Homo-oligomer: A and B are copies of this chain.
Amino acid sequence: MFHLKEKTIEVETIYEGRIIDVTLEKVRLPNGNEGMREVVRHSGAVAVIAQTDEGKYVFVRQFRKPLERTIVEIPAGKLEKDEEPLETAKRELKEETGYSCNNIEHIISFYTSPGFADEIIHLYKATELTKGKQHMDDDEFLDVIELTLEEAQQLVNNQEIIDAKTAYAVLYLQLL
């Protein structure tokens, strides 16, 4: 694959923020020319398919500023510094929904937008849930809803579920 590689010549930091950093990277293209790449740096995230003992799945409804609308997603959250994704998954599930899980397994990890961002999402499935209390971040507001797979598929059809990780999760559950 070496014939496709782009070599970094220079990196300019555009922005260093709370969730993302942005860099502008000058590269040597495979044909020897120079090119520019805009890169969003992100610490990575987890998402959790959480199945209740009643066979329902736990979702959150949340306002997403970039989209200017509320959408329904599986519980998810950003990796904290030096945190193992598995621990993040258990922590975010508990914080966002109140549910602790006794059993959790990794399903897949994927980059969300490899063309311009390095964000990776680690997807887990959690079972043997116990309901407790939510502990949300100061700037986090969401409704927890529990749906059957059929109800979730309806929300995909009417575009209330409309993000990649949750669409993947619903498809994954259909295949089980």
Identify the A interface with B (CB < 8 A): 1, 3-6, 8, 14-15, 17-20, 22, 24-25, 27, 29-31, 33, 35-42, 45, 61-67, 70-71, 73, 76, 78, 108-119, 121, 138-139, 141-143, 156, 159, 162-165, 167-168, 171-172, 174-175
Indicate how many identical chains form the complex: 2
Q: B residues within 8 A CB of A171?
A: 168, 171-172, 175
When C-beta atoms are compared, the residue in chain B nearest to A114 turns out to be B64
Contact A64 B115 (CB under 8 A): yes
A54 to chain B, nearest CB (A): 25
Contact A6 B39 (CB under 8 A): no
A11 to chain B, nearest CB (A): 11
A8 to chain B, nearest CB (A): 8
Contact A5 B40 (CB under 8 A): no
A111 to chain B, nearest CB (A): 5
Contact B4 A17 (CB under 8 A): no
A126 to chain B, nearest CB (A): 19
Contact A22 B18 (CB under 8 A): no
